C-alpha cells in the first residue's frame, strides 16, 4: 500500500516547493488549500471546514500552512492536530522558525505556541531561517523609494528548495521531535543582501535600528543558526 501524504499550505511559497519535491520522488501528495484547484482538497484550518475529510486516509502530514497572525496560527495548528488524531495519521511534520524562543513578538509567539500544540502527536519540528523569497519581497518594497532604509540586522537566508528537500527527508522517516535547525549557507548583513538584490540599480542605502526587545534579539543574532548552515543555494543563485 502506498503512503498517503498531505501538504497543508501546499499552495504557499514553501509548500509549492515541498509538493514539487515529493512529486520528483514519485509521490502523489494531496494539497490542502482554501481554494479549489487541481489536486487540492478544500479545507480551512481556522474554521475547521473540510479538515477531517482532508486528513481521511492520510499517513503523513507536512504542515506548511500559516495564517501570518500569531494567535490564528495556534488555532489552525490545534485544528490540524485534533483532526490528525481522529484520522489516526502517523507523522506530523511541522515548519517553524529559527529563534522563535529567543525573539518575542506576535507572529513568533504564535509559532512557539504552535510547536507546543504539535507535541501532542507523533511529530517532527523543523525550524528554518528566513526564506530568500521573504527578503526579496521586503527589499522590493523598500526599493520603491530613492532612499532604501534597511534594518541593521543579519540574516542567514535559505532557499525553499533546500528546506523542502530536508522536510521531505524528515517526513519519510520516523517522528524525531525537534530536528536540528536548518539555515542558509551564509550569514549576511541585510545591507549587503539589499545591495545584491538591487543588482546594479542605484539607491542610497540607509541602515536603521529600532528600539525594543524584539529588534535587539534579532540584532543579537537570535534569527541565525551558523552551526547549521545546511542550505546549499545562495541568495545570488536564487534569482
Ligand atoms: N517566510 C519565511 O521566511 C519563513 C522562514 C522560516 C519558516 N517559515 C514558516 O514556513 C511556513 C510556510 O511559510 P510560507 O512563507 O511558505 O507561507 P505562505 O507563502 O504565506 O503560504 C501560506 C499557506 O498557508 C495556507 N493557509 C493560510 N490560511 C489557511 C487556512 N485558514 N487554512 C488552510 N490553509 C491556510 C495558504 O493556502 P491557501 O491560501 O491556498 O488556502 C498558503 O498555502 C510557515 O509555517 C512559516 O512560519 C517561513
The answer to whether residues 91 and 80 touch, using CB atoms and an 8 Å cutoff, is: no
Q: Is the pLDDT of residue 196 over 70?
A: yes
Please report, to the nearest 10 degrees, the dihedral formed by the alpha carbons of residues 140, 144, 150, 151 taken in order. Answer: -70
If you classify domain 5-228 with CATH, what class do you get? alpha beta
Arithmetic mean of pLDDT, 192-197: 97
Q: Is the pLDDT of residue 91 over 80?
A: yes
The predicted structure's pLDDT at residue 3: 81
The predicted structure's pLDDT at residue 164: 98
Kindly tell me the burial class for residue 122, based on how many C-beta atoms sit within 10 Å of its own C-beta (0-12, 13-18, 19 or more).
middle
Q: Is the pLDDT of residue 188 over 70?
A: yes
Q: Is 7 touching ligand 1 by the criterion CB < 6 Å?
A: no
Arithmetic mean of pLDDT, 183-206: 96
The predicted structure's pLDDT at residue 70: 78
Q: Is the pLDDT of residue 230 over 80?
A: yes
Q: Which atom of ligand 1 is nearest to the CA of 37?
A: 40
Q: Is 33 touching ligand 1 by the criterion CB < 6 Å?
A: yes
Arithmetic mean of pLDDT, 186-193: 98
The predicted structure's pLDDT at residue 1: 52
3-class SS of residue 171: helix
Q: Which residue has the cell 500552512?
A: 65
> How far does the centroid of ligand 1 lie from the alpha carbon of residue 14, in Å?
7
Amino acid at each position: 500500500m502506498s503512503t498517503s501524504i498531505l501538504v497543508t499550505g501546499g499552495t504557499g511559497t514553501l509548500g509549492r516547493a515541498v509538493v514539487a519535491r515529493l512529486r520528483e520522488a514519485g509521490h502523489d501528495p494531496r494539497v490542502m488549500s482554501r481554494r479549489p484547484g487541481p489536486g487540492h482538497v478544500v479545507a480551512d484550518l481556522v474554521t475547521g471546514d473540510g479538515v477531517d475529510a482532508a486528513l481521511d486516509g492520510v499517513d503523513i502530514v507536512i504542515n506548511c500552512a500559516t495564517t501570518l497572525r500569531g494567535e490564528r496560527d495556534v488555532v489552525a495548528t490545534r485544528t490540524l492536530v485534533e483532526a490528525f488524531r481522529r484520522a489516526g495519521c502517523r507523522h506530523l511534520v511541522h515548519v517553524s522558525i529559527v529563534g522563535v524562543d529567543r525573539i518575542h513578538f506576535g507572529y513568533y509567539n504564535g509559532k512557539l505556541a504552535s510547536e507546543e500544540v504539535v507535541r501532542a502527536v507523533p511529530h517532527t519540528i523543523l525550524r528554518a531561517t528566513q526564506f530568500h523569497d521573504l527578503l526579496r519581497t521586503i527589499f522590493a518594497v523598500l526599493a520603491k523609494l530613492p532612499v532604501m532604509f534597511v534594518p541593521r540586522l543579519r540574516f542567514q537566508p535559505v532557499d525553499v528548495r533546500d528546506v523542502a528537500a530536508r522536510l521531505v527527508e524528515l517526513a519519510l522517516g520516523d517522528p524525531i521531535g525537534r530536528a536540528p535547525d536548518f539555515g542558509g549557507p551564509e550569514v549576511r548583513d541585510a545591507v549587503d543582501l539589499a545591495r545584491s538584490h538591487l543588482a546594479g540599480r542605484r539607491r542610497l542605502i540607509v541602515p536603521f535600528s529600532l528600539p525594543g526587545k524584539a529588534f535587539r534579539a534579532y540584532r543579537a543574532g537570535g534569527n541565525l543558526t551558523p552551526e547549521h548552515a545546511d542550505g546549499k543555494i545562495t541568495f545570488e543563485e536564487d534569482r
